[in-house]
A and B are shown apart, each in its own frame.
Chain A
Amino acid sequence: DSGVTQTPKHLITATGQRVTLRCSPRSGDLSVYWYQQSLDQGLQFLIQYYNGEERAKGNILERFSAQQFPDLHSELNLSSLELGDSALYFCASSSVGSGTGAYGYTFGSGTRLTVV
Chain B
Amino acid sequence: AQKITQTQPGMFVQEKEAVTLDCTYDTSDPSYGLFWYKQPSSGEMIFLIYQGSYDQQNATEGRYSLNFQKARKSANLVISASQLGDSAMYFCAMREGIYRDDKIIFGKGTRLHILP
Residues of A bordering B, CB below 8 Å: 2, 30-31, 33, 35, 40-43, 45, 48, 50, 55-56, 58, 88, 90, 92, 94-98, 101-105, 107, 109-110, 112
Contact check, B99 vs A96: say whether CB atoms are below 8 A apart.
yes
- Given the complex of chains A and B, what is the CA–CA distance between A3 and B109 in angstroms? 25
Which one of A58, A98, A103, A110 lies within 8 Å of B43 (CB-CB)? A110
B91 within 8 A of A: yes
Q: A97-B100, A109-B43 are in contact. Are A103 and B95 (CB under 8 A)?
A: yes
Chain A residue contacts of B44, Cβ below 8 A: 2, 107, 109-110
When distances are taken between beta carbons in the complex, the residues of chain B under 8 Å from A90 are 45
Interface of A is mostly: loop
Contact B99 A104 (CB under 8 A): no
List chain B residues, Cβ under 8 A from A48. Answer: 101, 103
Complex: chain B residue closest to A33, CB-CB? B103
B101: contacting residue among A2, A31, A58, CB under 8 A = A31
- Check if A43 sits within 8 Å of B91, measured CB to CB: yes
Tell me which of A31, A58, A88, A104 contacts B47 (CB under 8 A). Answer: A104
CB–CB B103/A42 < 8 A? no
User: How close is B37's CB to chain A, nearest CB, in angstroms?
Assistant: 8
- Who on chain B is nearest to A44 by CB? B106
* Chain B residues with CB below 8 A from A88, complex form: 43
* CB proximity of A93 to chain B, nearest CB, Å: 9
Q: Report the Cα distance A96→B49, complex, angstroms.
A: 18
